[in-house]
Each structure stands twice: as structure tokens, then as C-alpha cells.
Structure 1
Amino acid sequence: MASYDRPRAGGSPRPLETGDTWWYAAVAGEAAGSFSTRVRTRTRRGSLGAVLLLTLTYAGLVLTATGRRWSDAALTGRRADTAAATLLREHPSLAGLTTGSLVAGSVLLLAVGLIRKRYALTGIAAGTVVTALALTGLLQRYAPRPRLADAGGLLPSGFPSAQTTLALGIAFGLVLVVPYRLRSIAVGSAALWAAAVGAYTIAAGQHRPGDVIAAALLVLAVFCGLLAFLARKGRVRPGPRRGPALPGLPATVPLALLAVAGLGAGLWLLGDTLALPAAAPYDPAELRLAHRCGQALAAGVTAAAALLLLGLLRRVDVDGAPAAYRLGGPFVEAAGVPGDDQVVGPFTEDLDHEIS
């Protein structure tokens, strides 16, 4: 029984069960402690936390001399990393494969939503991905950056990475269009693909590790903000207890291992790679170590962002409108089950219950 629900004097002493207070969905959806309020609170906190981490990443890796030196060393170290250089040299088709996979992922996101006739949610998912890409473009163009000492121009920056933004945006967009029971396996698999896309952009020299990290945090902030808005509009409902956790283990377990190993190894190596000399020449071993440190951190943050989103949506279903409530419990037993064409209120004829 809710705190704002009390029986009349002389009313039925029988305790209420789940489903007896079905009418609260219409009058208490915004009450403190309601399901929508809890979902909105935690997703809003997730969005604000991602924005804070994005700001710290920008300040540490773009605005400070130490961060820029480490980012440049990680970018230059791809040439000293023989494993990455050999892979890219022997498989030049990876560039076209990465671009093709981004196109295929966009088509897949739209196709799944349209086939399942989730037209509104498909449009929302696509609009959110476009919003994240627009914010990425604005940050790349207008975010303050230090100037080059020799030419007086701005330091080239791909902060954040557009490729990672699109890939992880597609992965997170699947939350809105795939069935609840398949959410973990779909989002987890797509997040692994997004981490691979980010790793390729770093190895190919298209982006620095900080660009990929910033893209993951930006997409997480945008989608958490969207979910908070959907919860505010009452578009979420409790999911079944037997949710997508067990079927999603083949994807979420590798994702969790990637997050733990990437963040652990990256933070372990970060202390050594930050101690680079202020000017060149650098030791090739140090450059290679910086590159691998950046790869580990970027992959770990991408995987952790996906796991955080899945954690925030634990037992939360956003697939379609909330289910219609049905009468049940002692009130229906006392008043009788109504027909489909009969409108019945929440109270029985003896009026032994009230909402205050």
C-alpha cells in the first residue's frame, strides 16, 4: 500500500497486492518514488555525469600542454606499433569496410524500427543520432583550441570523433527499436563494433584517443538525456523480471571484459606515458606505449559507456507505450468482473477505500 493510500474506518483489512492500485498510474506518475521518477532521476544523473567527464576530457587532453603531448605521442606511436601498422598495410580494405559498416548500421537501425512498426521510436532514435552528430560537428568547429606556435593557426582537432559518434549512436539507438528481451545482445554486440571502429580510427591516424573517448561520453550524455525526457513523458514501464540479461551474456560478458581490461591497462600505462619529454625526439618504445595506452583507454571507455546505459535501463522497457492496466484484486472480486464494454471505476459499491 502506498504512503498516500489509506483505508476508510471499518474498511477491508486485507492487504493490497500488486495490481490492486492500478489507477495510480493516472494520478501518481510524477509522485516521489514512482517508477517514472526513478528512471528519470538516474538517467538525468547519468547524462550530467557524462557531460562532466566530457568537460574534464576536453580540458585535460586539448587545453593542457601535457595532454596534447600525450595525444600527439599516441597518434604518432601508431607507426612504431608494428602490429597495428602491419595489419593496416596488409588489409587496406579495412577503410572501406569501416565506412560500409557505418552505412549498414544506419540502415539496420531504421529497418528494425520500421519492420517492427515502431515509427515514432525509430524517428526519435534517428533524430538523437543526428543530434549527437550535430553536437560533434559544433565541438569540432567551435570548441576553443590552442594555436600552433609556428604558423599561428589552430591546432588540428577531431574532438570528438564523428565515426565513433555515429557507431555508438547506432548501438544506443537499438535500445529504442529492438524487443526488450533482445536488448542486451543487440546493444552489446553493436557496442563491440563501435569500439572496433574507434580503434581503427586511432590506428589509421584519423583521430586521437581523446577524440574517441569524447565521442563515447557525448553519445552517452545525449541518450541519457533522451531517456530522461521519455521517462518524464511517461513512455517507460517496468520490464519483466526475466529480462534480457541471460540471453545477452554472449555480448555483455566480452563487453565487460573489454571495459575492465581497457580501463585497467590504460590507467596503468598512463602514468608512464605522461612523463614524456617536453620536446622531440621521442623514444619509439615510448611512442608505441602511448599508442597502446590510448587504444586501451578508448576501448575501455566505449565499452563502459554501453554497460552504463544498459545498467541504467535495467528492468526498464521503452519499447512502445505502457501496457493498459486491468482490474484485479479484492475490489474486482467484490464487485464482479466487468465486460469489455462496461466502464468501471476503481472503487466498489461499499466505498471502503479512498485516495487521499
Structure 2
Amino acid sequence: MALFDRPRTGGSPRSVAAGDTWWYAAVAGEAAGSFSARIRIRMRRACLAAILLLTLTYAGLVLTATGRRWGNAAVAGRLTDPAVGRFLSEHPSLQGLGTLSLVLAVLLLIAVGVLRKRYARLGLALGTTAAALAVAELLQRYAPGPRFVTASGVAVESGFPSSPAVLALGTVFGLLLVVPHRLRSAAVSLGALWSVALGAHSVASGHHRPGDVIAADLLVLAAFAATVALLARKGKVRPAYRRGLPFQRFLLTVPVALLAIGGLAAGGYLLGDCLPGTGPLPVELPRIAHRCGQALAAGTGAATALGLLGLLRRVDLDPASAPYRIGHTVPGDQDPFPEEPDHEIS
């Protein structure tokens, strides 16, 4: 660092051992105490934590007999819950609306990225979602574990993790990379409520078990945490202005927080009463297991969205603007650096 250089506002203190190269290393995101390095470490730990929770979910709900019986009870419980049956019978077109909403969500993500000219970030968001979908398909086909069969003995393909849930939450998290920083929490909060609703419908309709939706949320969280860690490794993140949360965004964040707390609390409370044993299932257990699975899936989806927003609270993912821009071209016969003293470079 030269003698006339001043430290950055809000930056980390200069390391004595780093010598004169500290400032340039901090700009490149290579210094141990730089902003980019802190974000990289934070997101890397979040990615590893999500992978660990995904592994525990897979081990508990797929590899153990109790977890499989609980998943079967949750699927069977939708048939014994009159509220679920009445809702599905009164709204038979929800399945088609869910598929249409997924298509529109992807188109919305592409439109926002194109209109804001964030082509690289849009490609990164779509690539991360596609990678999460590929991992989900590989886990469904090749992950070890018993295959489920119907009452007639027909084998059912594994839905762990749920591909529609991966696509839904991946599209929501992709908005983090293309929307402005001031609109990020509002966009993700609305998208999280929509993603939770799609997951609840897939569980209520019997297409997926609650564990499939929970695993999908954790998989998407791990994928986008790794993506942000990669951006920080390249030095493409910067601190955002510390502003208070506006009232409009506060109104959108509070329902997601209540859904996360209430869903996880209710699911944890009901979980102790709906774990099946080795004997025949009690009459009331499937309905309780279904409600427990719905609560846990909704709470996990909302908690992952809030967790990623919290990790990126004061992190701006928008690419930095160019320090200067050439306004016009210089004619071929004109010297861009004339000899007048007023134009000399001092």
C-alpha cells in the first residue's frame, strides 16, 4: 500500500505481515480478512451444513424402516383427512395450475435477467438450478435404498428429492442474482410462499412424500450457497448499504418467518405422536403423520429462504459498475493526448 492510499471505509484492518500487497489482495478477495473472504467462508459453511442436513434426512427417512413407515403413513393420511380430500375435490385444476406457474416462474426469471442485462448472472442462476435438478435426478435413480410399491405390487419410482420442488425453489433463489438488492427480500419472500404452496399441494395430492420436499429445499440451499461462495472466491461480491428494513418488505418477510417458526414447531410437536412402531398402524396415526409432514415441509421451505436471505443480508450480488465509460470515439487524425499543458497527465 502506498503512503498516500487510505484504507477503505468499513474495510478490514491492514495486516502487518501482508506488507504492501494487502490492499491489492483485499480487492481481489484473497486477503484473509477481506469482505469477499468472509462471505466465501460463510457460504461454504452454509453449503456444508445443508449437505449434512440432507444426508441426515436421507438416512432417517429412506434408509430406516421407521422413516419409511412414517412416509407411507403421511401419504395414506391424506386419504383420511376430510379437509384435504374436500379441498382437492373442489379444486381439480390445481395440478395444471402448478405446472403452469412453474413455467411462468422460469420465464419471469429469464425476463428479469434480460431486462436488467444481467446475462452472466442469469446464466449462473439457470445453471445452478439445472445442476440441482441433475443431482436430484441422480439421487432418485441411483441412491441406495428400498423401492416403494403400491397396494397392487407395482413399483413406484423414488421421488427423493422432489424435482418440481427443486425447480420451484431454485427459480426463487435465482432471483437473488438478477433482481436489485433493494427488491431482493420482497421477491424471495413472495417466491418462498409460492414454493411452499406447491410443495404442500404435491404432498396433499400424493405425488411426493414430505421428506422429498424437505430434501429438495436443502439441496437447492446447498447449490446456491456454493454458487455465492464461488462468486465471493472470484471477488464479485461487495458490501451493501446498511439501511433499515422498509415497511413493505417487513410485511412480506413476517409471514415467511411465522410460517418457518410455526411449521417447524408444529411438526416437531406432532412428530413424537406419529412415529409408527413395528405393529399395525393406529387409525389416527396416518392423519397426524400427514399433518406433521405438511408442517415440517412448509417450515423447512420457509426456513431455507429466510436462512439464505439472512446470510446475504448485507451482501450486494449485483456486478459493480464500470468506473468510467468512453462517451465517444476519437477521430483517427486527432491525438487523444494533445501537448497542451492543461491536458498533461500529472
CA drift at 1:282: 3.5
The 3-state SS of whatever aligns with 1:67 is: helix
User: Which of residues 15, 24, 29 is equivalent to 1:26?
Assistant: 24
Change (3 A) 1:342 1:136: farther
1:115-194 to 2 correspondences below 5 Å: 115-146=115-146, 156-194=157-195
Structure 1: runs of 5 or more not aligned: 326-340, 345-356
- Cα distance in 1 for residues equivalent to 2:228 and 2:67: 33
Contact 1:47 1:221 in 2 (8 A): yes
- Amino acid across the alignment from 2:304: A
2:311 matched to which residue of 1? 312
2:273 matched to which residue of 1? 272
Structure 2: runs of 5 or more not aligned: 15-20, 325-342
Change (3 A) 1:91 1:41: same
2:97 matched to which residue of 1? 97
The 3-state SS of whatever aligns with 2:9 is: coil
Contact 1:240 1:315 in 2 (8 A): yes
1:1-356 to 2 correspondences below 5 Å: 18=9, 26-28=24-26, 29-146=29-146, 156-242=157-243, 246-274=247-275, 276-280=276-280, 282-283=282-283, 285-321=284-320, 324=323
CA drift at 1:44: 0.4
- Cα distance in 2 for residues equivalent to 1:299 and 1:101: 18
- Cα distance in 2 for residues equivalent to 1:265 and 1:51: 24
RMSD between aligned alpha carbons? 2.8
Contact 1:106 1:170 in 2 (8 A): yes
1:332 matched to which residue of 2? none
- Cα distance in 2 for residues equivalent to 1:25 and 1:120: 27
Larger RCO (alpha carbons 8 Å, 6+ apart) = 1
- Cα distance in 2 for residues equivalent to 1:90 and 1:238: 49
- Cα distance in 1 for residues equivalent to 2:249 and 2:310: 13
String of CA shifts for 1:317-340, please: whole Å, max 9, x gaps. 011136749xxxxxxxxxxxxxxx
CA drift at 1:343: 7.0
CA drift at 1:289: 0.6
- Cα distance in 2 for residues equivalent to 1:226 and 1:245: 28
The 3-state SS of whatever aligns with 1:242 is: coil
CA drift at 1:278: 2.3
Contact 1:184 1:245 in 2 (8 A): no
Change (3 A) 1:115 1:17: closer
- Cα distance in 2 for residues equivalent to 1:211 and 1:252: 25
- Amino acid across the alignment from 2:117: K
Contact 2:148 2:158 in 1 (8 A): no
- Amino acid across the alignment from 2:190: S
CA drift at 1:147: 5.0
The 3-state SS of whatever aligns with 1:18 is: coil
CA drift at 1:109: 0.4
- Cα distance in 1 for residues equivalent to 2:81 and 2:320: 51
Q: How many residues align?
A: 318
CA drift at 1:251: 1.8
- Amino acid across the alignment from 2:83: A
2:327 matched to which residue of 1? none
Contact 2:44 2:226 in 1 (8 A): yes
- Cα distance in 1 for residues equivalent to 2:218 and 2:145: 19
CA drift at 1:25: 5.4
1:350 matched to which residue of 2? none
String of CA shifts for 1:218-247, please: whole Å, max 9, x gaps. 000000000000000011000011166654
Give identity over the alignment, percent: 58
The 3-state SS of whatever aligns with 1:273 is: coil
